Structure 1
């Protein structure tokens, strides 16, 4: 009888071992001895498995269960930052959990490291420590299918290049992903000993909630795509030193909800923002702005939509924004070295027959030293096609100096500017008014 039990146990152990390939070790292997769900510290056991894996070119498997950690799990301890090229992975991120209540970096990694299918959890009652720390120059690393919560920093790294961060769910942190340069200052590009920017990285399907800043990058040539930040102070921050600005970064298909400042940019040459939905606040509790940029170079915006209320659509210092940034109720704040060039803005419009003024939508307001082309079309009195074109010139930064000139058409429609707002009306009384109208505003200077 005892023999049968032992044989069955041997078969089970053998089957479990067979589930892992020859290039993978489990932290629960008797050689290392981590035990799930026992509420004891597994730091030494997991570190022993990592050290063995680094020395023997193995991957490290973390099975289902909760493993407590009180000391940093350091992949670089045995062979240093450049030669510790291993893979750590769990069964599934909602099943394999590494938890800590210590103020530590839970995982310390470097070159060519892969981390997948894990939950990394800070259980202290306040945000502290870092889930994944990349202290020096990580090339071609990959981090995917991770749940991270409770830390000061979800991912904190320096000089990260050609790496991928994908399918990450990060909650209740101060910074979701923060790739910096040297200390509090960004790195210079390719000037040792000051270091490098983080560059040519991909951030795909990143979700950050309950943070100060969702994604903060001292970076060039990086792409943030298919990502979301919610209930945070800042969505994405791109920054660099004044002497060596960042450039060629791109944000695509981005969603922001409950975010006070969606994009923050400092010391940048170029940034492309494409396909964004930015949701503001209530009319009595407006969010701050969609874009805030200081020495931000040229920011090009395409395909942005938004709803609800804002204090500003853009806040600009020495920055040019090209493209429409919708923000209900939001005003443009720009210094003399800046320009907001929204391109063509369109809206539907109908004009009554009693020759009263009708305001164009608030996002069609004008400001600064600028010139605009306005076109309006529609059907007057149910039968007459109408097409009018006007030029509006605004200077000295004050809309009361705006001048409106009729440039083409028969003069059925008139425009005026008052307090930066544009108004239109039919130039006579009677008839059936203007129906099916469309108005287009294009800034040309």
Structure 2
């Protein structure tokens, strides 16, 4: 009796136990007849299992193996978008695979759907189709522990609300996750039939590599956390239409490597970014920018670290950026309606100026942002013996800069300045002898 009980417990704890659960149907059940690893199309068999599960309020189990699919598996086929709330899951995502070589949406879903523990694979040899298509709304859905590869779009949908995307590995796609509005246009908020933004969604532990864009979201109130994008053109793109901006999105604990533009923002009221590692490129092949924002509202960034080289730390148009963007060699590019405040009233760096009237770029840690006024103090030794302590003001307004001398306690008042794209250049207008050595420059924002 004890041995029999033990055997039953073991059976119920194994993957095969799904066959004994009355609330679960397997696609390989004799009623449906899908067969793994035979390289024969299983579309009709899997669809039959899905339709049975929808009609009878059951879940669908996909055992280990590869099942070939040539037609879209449509969860909404029988009961439409609102009444097809089922769960489809595999044994493990490394073991249970749905594979297609057709230009299709592999799985079509809507409200309240769960997809777990599966590999969804496009085997055509070039990107086409979608792994998961949500053509009309998805409330309280959950997509987790999925491997997705080879598609044009990994997950593609509109009007997604209160849903979770977690533990996803997406590779070799044009876009990893794209939640759009209507067709290719951004959504409007609560203006039927125009549609809605995708809102209050969570993206947790999402990994995307070898894409054009990792995550592309017309979203509000959404949270991207513990996620990574590698070897892609854009990491995260958040956008809205000109008439209805997005707002209250958050990105935290994000890692980017081999990404040309980490965050691309357009038509947003607010975005919080907290905890980012952004790795650029070689000095001879720099990544483009950490942040590229147009009509970006207020972007607040904290806890950023980075390495390697960038062309720009930030590209800003009509955007207020608050926080320090780490981008080695990367200068900020701002228009007249933008401000980049790194949260420091004083910025200090070492400086040396040659005695040949050459312009020298000050370190990136001291910079000019927006329409502002700064006090600049320079100290050091000229010619190895003459102490220098001079103060200047720099006015930067609508892209035009000029400087004026406040005082010089010692030295001859020969330092000149210019500002290009937010970067300060200094010149020691002095020929002969030695230049300014062992110097220090401090830039203090006054207004």
Q: TM-score, normalised by structure 1?
A: 0.84
Change (3 A) 1:348 1:294: closer
Could you tell me whether the CA contact under 8 Å between 1:329 and 1:362 is conserved in 2? yes
Change (3 A) 1:76 1:416: same
CA distance in 2, matches of 1:42, 1:218: 35
Change (3 A) 1:404 1:25: farther
Which ranges of structure 1 fall in alignment gaps of 5 or more residues?
Answer: 1-10, 379-386
Please state if 1:132 is matched with 2:124. no
Residue of structure 1 in register with 2:288 after alignment: 288
How far off is 1:154 after superposition?
0.1
Could you tell me whether the CA contact under 8 Å between 1:393 and 1:404 is conserved in 2? no
Change (3 A) 1:303 1:444: farther
When the two chains are superposed, the root-mean-square deviation of aligned CA atoms in Å is 3.5
Which ranges of structure 2 fall in alignment gaps of 5 or more residues?
Answer: 1-9, 381-388
How far off is 1:208 after superposition?
0.6
Could you tell me whether the CA contact under 8 Å between 1:69 and 1:99 is conserved in 2? yes
CA distance in 2, matches of 1:159, 1:12: 42
CA distance in 1, matches of 2:99, 2:67: 6
Q: How does 1:144-293 map to 2 (within 5 A)?
A: 144-293=144-293
Deviations 1:211-233 (A, max 9, x none): 11100000100011111111111
CA distance in 1, matches of 2:444, 2:86: 55
How far off is 1:166 after superposition?
0.6
Please state if 1:372 is matched with 2:374. yes
Structure 1 counterpart SS, 2:161: coil
- Between stretches 257-266 and 175-184, larger displacement belongs to 257-266
CA distance in 2, matches of 1:422, 1:17: 71
Aligned residues: 422
CA distance in 2, matches of 1:302, 1:376: 29
Residue of structure 1 in register with 2:385 after alignment: none
Deviations 1:289-308 (A, max 9, x none): 22111211111111222222
Q: How does 1:30-429 map to 2 (within 5 A)?
A: 30-344=30-344, 349=350, 360-366=362-368, 368-372=370-374, 392-395=394-397, 397-399=399-401, 401-403=402-404, 405=406, 417-419=417-419, 421=424
How far off is 1:369 after superposition?
2.9
Could you tell me whether the CA contact under 8 Å between 1:368 and 1:398 is conserved in 2? no
Deviations 1:109-138 (A, max 9, x none): 111111011100000011000000011110
Change (3 A) 1:140 1:403: farther
CA distance in 2, matches of 1:215, 1:396: 34
How far off is 1:424 after superposition?
11
CA distance in 1, matches of 2:343, 2:15: 62
Could you tell me whether the CA contact under 8 Å between 1:111 and 1:137 is conserved in 2? yes
